[in-house]
Chain A
Amino acid sequence: MDKNSSLAISNPHQIPMNISQKLGLILGLIGVLILTLATFNIHAEPKSWFAIGSILLIITGATVYARSTYLRHPAGIKNNHVYFKTLSNRGVLGWAIGIVLTLFYVLLYWFPSYLGLGVDGASNTGLIVVFDRLSHFFKGQPANQWFVYGTLYTLAILSLGIKFMYKYRHNRYQLIRTIVVILSQLFLAYLIPEILEGLNTERPYFAKDIKNMWPLNYYFFEPWHLDSMRNGGTLGMFYLVAGIFMFLVFTPIITYFAGKRWYCSWVCGCGGLAETAGDPFRHLSSKKLSAWKLERWLIHAVLLFIIIVTSAVLYGYFTGNGEIFGLSIYNNFSKPYGFLIGAMFSGVIGVGFYPVLGSRVWCRFGCPLAGYMGLIQRFKSKFRITTNGGQCISCGNCSTYCEQGIDVRAYAQKGENIVRASCVGCGICSAVCPRGVLKLENGPEKGRINSKEILLGNDVDLMELLNK
């Protein structure tokens, strides 16, 4: 038997869908179809109504589907058949979606005209034109690829977030976390920035998603961005000060008290997408020790990279030099970072490869903000996942479903708490554990990291002797 297959060769038991599941799926797919056809310039009039219609169809479809899938069984863990399904087990559907997503990102970053962006003053077509009215509504100008992307991104988090909430309806941590992640995408990342943009059309553009701080927002300190903020009136100055305050003061303090989860799985947009749209793929992350080694190397390399890039950029900004040590700051620093990390890594690989590598590739291997908070979480924080004495049965559910590829079981079966830089505090390991072994909590720093020789339950003398 192939060592990579489960005991079942292929899906041994296709579950037939019931009527309302089918209805939900069809509604959602019609919504997706309208947008897909639009991308190929097949439109129905009025376009903006169809745009709104497709958004509503997707949200309704996801809700109807989730209700009939999850409410017909008693509340509990719903992972049956995850490793049989073609979508969630790197089957044909999984690969197909991966390829489509990757393609979408390539067009988005480098060939937006294929998505319908009007170049050189031409009006929009394709997918982008259907969002023109919505964009006009917010900021009185036609849509561009980023507006469309932001809208679809928010739509994905909202609709699949609703599905996630039905799936985990018994778990209040998951419910509250998901509501927060949906709202912070909807308001902080989407509505508020778009509305502020609309109120300040005469001023230059700068990033208005307050939580999207440096170094995740890698262009924050770019000269054009700094100038835009400085010329952006009170609002611009506010964002400049807030941006620096966020990463320098706010982030370390909150991360000290609650771990990096406050950001990564509660408010971050990348995290929000991973937790909602990425939920069917969370188990695909690699749990190998070798992957952990790669992770530690890579994520800190990216962090170092952005620090170097930003230092060079700031040097250039304050000295007025275009070069540093004879190297062009733009060509040798900013541009490669933007291309390699900003676009390739976080977009194309980070999201495009969801169905192949799991939902948190970027967050785990790349994100410099996660790297920064990870260091705080590992060395100076109150957050840990407490292991419940000797109760672990080594079943492996926790490790399998950890999207960050942490081998949670390796700690739990030794009675050790999990204190890892990469843990985003999604709480899924704790949810899927059938023996109640794991609890995410913020407690005293003392005793947070514990390694044990003999587990709780055995001879007290022996435990004491060997755990000294």
Chain B
Amino acid sequence: MEHIVIIGNGISGVTAARHIRKNSNYRITIISGETNYFFSRTALMYVFMGHMKFEHTQPYENWFWSKNNIDLKLGWVTQIHTNTKSLSFADGSVINYDKLILATGSKPNKFGWPGQDLNGVLGMYHKQDLESLEELAPNNNICKRAVIVGGGLIGIELAEMLLSRHIPVTFLVRESSFWNGVIPEQESNMINEHILEHHIDLRLSSNLKEIISDENGNVKSIIIAETGEEIPCNVVGLTAGVSPNIEFVKHSNIETDNGILVNEFLETNCKDVYAIGDCAQQRKAIGQRRTIEAVWYTGRMMGETVAQTICGNRRAYKPGHWFNSAKFLDIEYQTYGWVFSEHNKKDDEVHFQWRHPSEKICITIAYHKKNRKFLGINTFGIRLRHEIFDRWLTDEVNVEFVLEHLIDANFDPEFYKHYEQDIVEKFNTDNNTNIKTKKKSWKRIFSLNA
């Protein structure tokens, strides 16, 4: 029987394994050095904040794996021998594979800052990082202040985690406004306000110069490059992005760049070796997507796709319309299609924006300047239906259509206030149009299921 070996028990590796099991009776082994069982990396913060126990982050009960005849192996792979189709482990053991799927995920970036390896400096990616943080920053007696370097999604999560232990946080953000390389200024400004509302010491346009050690090799303070200011602290969180976790792959015959290079079928240059999830890098970008996509959903979709290929139904990875979501402290964010920030958008992408006068709620709708085609939407504080937007993007509807039918896409809990009227009014004023909002229609909403 063919032996499928998967390195990495994250969302991509596990999704691949589950779908291979559904479609075949191949022998499957999942390897990870991090944990015995699959857990949701995105939920690490909730364990630290006391919302959940670690076991709650595991989507499947422990009996699931043996019941589905999926072998789990705990250990670090150190070498891949593609010529003998075998793997060596740190403990000296060896296993053979017939097909190999690399799903090794990411690791936090470190940009060679002086002091980046001191005791008290950490990233927030692996379970081990959580354990370190529990030791370094259990409360505000042991950690008097923490500095977070890098204003992205993981940075703000780390800030929220530390706040839950009442630890003062200084947040160094390279950009002139939070995440404004990705989201438009309106949204970025709103998040800035919200960060301050949570009493985080937000430092925009600030880079880390160096981390200073005390006499015992522990973090004592950091210095900001722009101002030279020294900020005393006990913990430094490095959250300036992630990059593929592929050190051990580089010594093999498998071709790599920043990530493991794959074609559209997720195949590497070596026969019977595939790469999926955060660690994979497309040789050719798909649409407007980046060649490395370090998000949960794409990992899952690549897992779904590669499983088909392995089970004899060779398929290219063809993700549908882009979507994503996040939460900035108390503000939920969803996006469908493409909305670029002012820094990155092309000239023919026009934005319509609305922000609630007092609440932290706003939206941006991107559309094409000439043909008015709807390009994408960012929504903060309003939940929207994925299926509706997916259909509208496929149908290439125009912006007026989206506004008219916006209520169909609302996904907020029942009894929530609706803002479609206000939004459309603003659009009408901005654009001198006379769009009228339609009533919600179950028929329209569910015609996609027909």
Are the C-beta atoms of B139 and A12 separated by less than 8 Å? yes
Inter-chain contact B48/A458, CB cutoff 8 Å:
no
B319 within 8 A of A: yes
Q: A388-B383, A394-B11 are in contact. Are A459 and B442 (CB under 8 A)?
A: no
Instruction: Check if A75 is an interface residue, CB within 8 A of chain B.
Output: yes
B284 to chain A, nearest CB (A): 16
Question: Any chain B CB within 8 A of the CB of A462?
Answer: yes
Interface string of A432-443 (1 = CB under 8 A from B): 101110011101
Q: Which chain A residues border B61 with CB–CB below 8 Å?
A: 288-289
Which chain B residues (289-306) contact chain A, with CB distance < 8 Å?
Answer: 296-297, 300-301, 304-305
Instruction: Given A12-B139, A74-B197, A176-B415, decide whether A7 and B54 contact each other with a Cβ distance below 8 A.
Output: yes
Interface flags for B20-50 (1: CB within 8 Å of A; 0: not) read 0010000000000000000010110011111
At the interface, yes or no: A343 with Cβ under 8 Å from chain B? no
Contact check, A427 vs B413: say whether CB atoms are below 8 A apart.
yes
State in angstroms the CA–CA spacing of A210 and B164 once bound together. 45
Does A454 contact B51, Cβ atoms closer than 8 Å?
Answer: no
> For chain A, what secondary structure do more than half of its interface residues adopt (helix, strand, loop), or is it mixed?
loop
Instruction: Write the B91-120 contact mask toward A (1 if CB under 8 angstroms, else 0).
Output: 000000000000000000000000000000
In chain B between 323 and 342, which residues have their CB closer than 8 angstroms to a CB of chain A? 323, 325-327, 329-330, 332, 334
Most chain B CB inside 10 Å of its own CB: which residue of A439, A457, A459: A457
Complex interface: stretch among B177-185, B223-231, B349-357, B385-393: B385-393
For the residues of B in contact with A, the DSSP-based class is mixed
Closest CB in chain B relative to A51 CB, distance in Å: 37
Give, as a whole number of angstroms, the nearest-CB distance from A398 to chain B. Answer: 10
Q: A389-B385, A390-B297, A458-B320 are in contact. Are A435 and B325 (CB under 8 A)?
A: yes
A395 to chain B, nearest CB (A): 4
Instruction: State whether B416 touches A173 (Cβ < 8 A).
Output: yes
- Note all chain A residues with C-beta closer than 8 A to B384: 436
Within 8 A of A (CB), among B370-422: 383-387, 390, 394, 411-417
Q: Flag the segment in A76-84, A102-110, A225-233, A295-303 that touches B.
A: A76-84
Contact partner, B411, options A8, A388, A450, Cβ 8 Å: A388
Cα A437 to Cα B385 in complex, Å, equals 9
> Looking at the complex, which one of A5, A84, A289, A397 makes contact with B46 (CB distance below 8 Å)?
A397
Is B168's beta carbon under 8 Å from chain A? no
Q: Is the CB of A439 within 8 A of B411?
A: yes
CB-based contact B417/A172 at 8 Å: yes
Please give, as numbers and ranges, the residues of chain B lying within 8 Å of A395 by CB-CB distance.
40, 42-43, 46, 57
Establish whether residues A459 and B325, one from each chain, have CB atoms under 8 Å apart when the complex forms: no
B318 within 8 A of A: yes
Considering the chains assembled together, what is the distance between the CA atoms of A394 and B334 in angstroms?
Answer: 16
Min CB–CB distance A249 → chain B (angstroms): 25
Complex contacts, A430 vs chain B, CB 8 Å:
413
Chain A interface extent, by class: 35 or more
Nearest-CB distance from B217 to chain A (Å)? 24
Expressed in whole angstroms, the Cα–Cα distance for A265 and B316 within the complex equals: 47
- Set A7, A74, A397: member contacting B329, Cβ < 8 A: A74
Closest CB of chain A to B294's CB: distance in Å? 13
0/1 string, B43-67, CB within 8 A of A gives 1: 1001111111111111101000000
Residues in chain B near residue A81, CB distance under 8 A: 49-50, 164
Q: Of B57, B130, B321, B323, which one neighbours A391 at CB under 8 angstroms? A: B323
Q: Does A444 contact B (CB under 8 A)?
A: yes
Given A13-B139, A75-B330, answer yes or no on A457-B301 (Cβ-Cβ < 8 Å): yes
Which of the listed residues A73, A394, A400 has the most CB atoms from chain B within 10 Å of its own CB? Answer: A394
**Are the CB atoms of B414 and A440 closer together than 8 Å?**
yes
* Between-chain CB contacts (< 8 Å), 6 pairs: A12-B139, A13-B139, A80-B49, A395-B46, A432-B51, A443-B442
Assuming A6-B54, A458-B304, A462-B315, what are 14 further A-B pairs, CB within 8 angstroms? Answer: A6-B53, A79-B49, A79-B51, A171-B413, A390-B386, A391-B297, A400-B52, A413-B59, A436-B334, A440-B413, A455-B301, A457-B297, A457-B320, A458-B301
Question: Interface residues, chain B, CB within 8 Å of chain A?
Answer: 11, 22, 40, 42-43, 46-59, 61, 130-131, 134, 138-140, 164-166, 194, 197-198, 296-297, 300-301, 304-305, 308, 315-321, 323, 325-327, 329-330, 332, 334, 383-387, 390, 394, 411-417, 442, 445-446, 449
